[in-house]
Structure 1
Amino acid sequence: MRAGPPGRGLSGRVSVPGDKSISHRALMFGALAVGTTEITGLLEGEDVLRTAAAMRALGAEVERVAPGHWRVAGRGVGGLVEPADVLDMGNSGTAARLICGLLAGHPLFAVLTGDASLRGRPMRRVTEPLSAVGARFTGRAGGRLPLAVEGAAEPVPLDYVLPVPSAQVKSAVLLAGLCARGITRVEEPEATRDHTENMLRHFGAVVRVEAEGHRRVIELEGQPELRAAPVVVPADPSSAAFPLVAALLVPGSAVTVEGVGLNPLRTGLFATLREMGADLAVSNARVEGGESVGDLTATFSALRGVEVPPGRAPSMIDEYPVLAVAAAFARGTTRMRGLGELRVKESDRLAATVALLAAAGVTAVVEGDDLVVTGDGSPAPGGGTVATQMDHRIAMSALVMGLAAARPVAVDDTGFIDTSFPGFAAMMNGLAGGDAIAPAAAP
């Protein structure tokens, strides 16, 4: 695909897919609850559909009622059954790691696999603490998929200190703790997204959280009876980032994204963009299903370089590639600190982001775990082809770059965009009033 300047500002009101993190968890907690859970706004990308298939394989009844509307009849905590076949998680690291937590607390055998990208991603960060619950994991070197799991017959509650901030590891430990008798305690050095804690409470579990600065301690009372509860999935802030950043960069633009999740532990990108001078306004603020939600409007803005502190990384870890694109159009230097976690995403996302910027003629360097981008306030040159490395966020970030750059930007593969954002190109073309994103000509 290739993206080029649309010839006018982006304009309109759009809805983006439901939050991927909440969609995964809604299906999992529905499978663990007693009764039938109604889910609306579910993201129907490939990653979440893999989770739905896995919950069916583990014995839950999972039914699609209408677009975005799903119904899950659960089996109760401890009631999952042994799957008859391998669980294929596709490209989803979140699903694979969280399901490791689910399986660890159940006395069953299962095998997890995924696509080539997921099979290269580390799983030891979750298998090591989950082994202390009593589960056994056998995988390839580095704990990589395919991974055989033997769940614990009598899972032990953990008292675990996260070595690095990770919502996935925290959530995996808490999911295993649901089946353990006693208190599971997780301490994180910096606050990470708390959708698991929110949803545990929503389904009736007893969860206590104590915060001291960035440090947080979460305690979960094990073996609760989770009760089915309706879940309204807000629009994913990680997906909303792409049309919003595009609107900030394309002259004459004003775009509103409706119903975006505004959980404070997910809004680091929006805070950073405002520091850069972005005109980014919230309207119709409300609370749905225990999550803050609002409509976000982005208007074309002249941006300036800023320093992004490392403590903000957990609240925007998936948004750094598109932030780097915004930084390429800002006046001055933007330094994004503490991005080591990006090296173990769908790709080495740190290296892939630098390569994306270089292909578009933008100066960027990695210094330790920092990404440094320098712009002069004018449009990036553009004109190159970006290797996406099977990474949906790199692909979408590159296409946003092309919409605002002086010359079009091409990407080598857009197939993986559907894992998180089905219909992305069509939506962006609707805002542009034409085919700003279109198939690239054959070389």
Structure 2
Amino acid sequence: MSSVAPSPARARKSRALSGTVRAPGDKSISHRSLILGLLAVGETRIEGLLEGEDVLATARGAKALGARVERLGEGSWRVHGVGVGGLREPLETLDFGNAGTGSRLMMGVVGGSPIEATFDGDASLRSRPMRRILDPLEKMGATVVSAAEGGRVPLTIRGPERAIPIVYETPAPSAQIKSAVLLAGLNAPGETVVIEREATRDHTERMLRAFGAEVSVEPHGPHGRLIRLKGEPELKPAAIAVPADPSSAAFPMAAALVVEGSEVTLEGVMINPLRSGLLTTLLEMGADIRLSNQREEGGEEVADLVVRAGALRGVDVPPERAPTMIDEYPILAIIAAFAEGETRMRGLHELRVKESDRLAAVHAGLLACGVEARIEGDDLVVTGEGRVPGGGPAVATHLDHRIAMSFLVMGLGAQNPVGIDDAAMIATSFPDFVELMRGLGAEIEIEIGERA
């Protein structure tokens, strides 16, 4: 596997940011477009695909499993799929780099199919738990031939001739677990059922329907859902227009909120209710954000967001909101540092098993930049004073792209520059982050690493 030399970076207090930009295509939709294109019979066309390293790893995985995958132009791709039962056993290890979503969803695909495949990734992916994905797949008839300690990659999965349909209640709110089970259930006769006590992002359910699968969703308990999938469909190719990723749009949005005098318009941002927890929270904090031109693109609700800087106040973020904004807590913590008063983010246990222990990494970074913060159980509490000192040693990113981008955004509004130890991994989800931010007027300096 290739490696990238560290690229230290620094952001300094910027003048008012202004302009109109479009964030990269949504990463969740991009991964699923390639995977469902693989599982459909015929040609799927994708426009606006995120061409970050994580998604490109999924494209290579789809090709290794038998699909013809072709890039036609910037963000424009064609996938000629082989159907649910037509996967080819890969000749080589499926290397997913840093792609947690791509690897876990593809484990569901392999775990429900009569083939064997080995999964691996970079140092960060090798540290992430996979057992919660493997457990339901084993119930469906898959065999974990070998795995690193704790069920981590590298690991080898052998799928059954026909997967066993199961009723599975997810042990934690996780769209990745749910999606892996549903994808494995495509090759199972009868009905596969997933129960989640707290609703998570529903892109897999929406997109399965768009590709011709029979999927029903009904409420379950106060916050949960029950999803039913009829197995063994013949998926039909679809035309996918990938909306702008709200998790990526969060960074220029946050910068516009904390850099005095800024006004930025973000075009075509997905506002799916199960992905809009950050937007809800920022409005509660008093953020000046206006939604315009609301419409539907590729089966998802989108809108243009007009964001202006202004005074913010601390809020209490309830734990049941976590599934709708789990990737946005690092940047919310940065925004909270610029707000007046205490912001408590509750129920963040899931942050401990992301690309890094994001809870610990964000807390350490805040302290290094002179922000008062503490961890209480699974809660992160940030006390904002309307201004952030910044300065100090470079923040440790732990190979985590969201930590890297979050603290660079902090530097744009802090009194003193904020440095990070490595920006190389930003390319996994937002390859043009620095260019886009500079186009708005951001002052970011970066040393580009070389591939080893």
TM-score by length of 1: 0.98
Identity of aligned residues (%): 61
SS at match of 1:292: strand
**Counterpart Cα distance in 2 of 1:383 and 1:422:** 27
Q: Are 1:176 and 2:189 counterparts?
A: no
How far is 1:154 from its partner?
Answer: 1.8
Aligned to 1:85: 92
Cα deviation digits, residues 94-143 of structure 1 (max 9, x gap): 11110110001111111000000000100000000100110011201110
Cα deviation digits, residues 257-316 of structure 1 (max 9, x gap): 111111100000010000000001111110112110111111001110000000000000
**1:72 is matched with which residue: 54, 79, 92?**
79
SS at match of 2:327: coil
SS at match of 2:41: coil
Aligned to 1:337: 346
SS at match of 1:260: strand
SS at match of 1:259: strand
Q: Are 1:94 and 2:78 counterparts?
A: no
Q: Are 1:246 and 2:251 counterparts?
A: no
Aligned to 1:15: 22
Comparing both chains, which one has the higher relative contact order based on Cα–Cα distances under 8 Å and sequence gaps of 6 or more?
A: 2
| Residue type of the alignment partner of 2:25 | G
Q: Are 1:27 and 2:34 counterparts?
A: yes
Aligned to 2:275: 266
- TM-align CA RMSD: 1.1
- Dislocated runs of 4+, deviation >2 Å: 378-384
Q: Are 1:354 and 2:360 counterparts?
A: no
| Residue type of the alignment partner of 1:100 | M
| Residue type of the alignment partner of 1:366 | I
Q: Are 1:130 and 2:137 counterparts?
A: yes
SS at match of 2:25: coil
Extract unaligned runs of 5+ from structure 2: 1-8
**Counterpart Cα distance in 2 of 1:380 and 1:219:** 51
**Counterpart Cα distance in 2 of 1:325 and 1:341:** 19
**Counterpart Cα distance in 2 of 1:55 and 1:272:** 37
- Alignment size in residue pairs: 438
**Counterpart Cα distance in 2 of 1:81 and 1:25:** 19
Contact 1:162–1:170 at 8 Å: present in 2 too?
yes
Aligned ranges for residues 194-213 of structure 1 at < 5 Å?
194-212=202-220, 213=222
Aligned to 2:435: 426
Cα deviation digits, residues 211-252 of structure 1 (max 9, x gap): 143110000000011100100000000000000011000000
Contact 1:284–1:294 at 8 Å: present in 2 too?
yes
SS at match of 2:232: coil
Contact 2:295–2:303 at 8 Å: present in 1 too?
yes
**Counterpart Cα distance in 1 of 2:407 and 2:388:** 14
SS at match of 1:389: coil
**Counterpart Cα distance in 2 of 1:240 and 1:139:** 36
TM-score by length of 2: 0.96
How far is 1:440 from its partner?
Answer: 6.8
Aligned ranges for residues 20-419 of structure 1 at < 5 Å?
20-137=27-144, 138-212=146-220, 213-419=222-428
Q: Comparing 289-298 with 225-234, which one deviates more in the overlay?
A: 289-298
Contact 1:382–1:401 at 8 Å: present in 2 too?
no
Contact 1:161–1:186 at 8 Å: present in 2 too?
yes
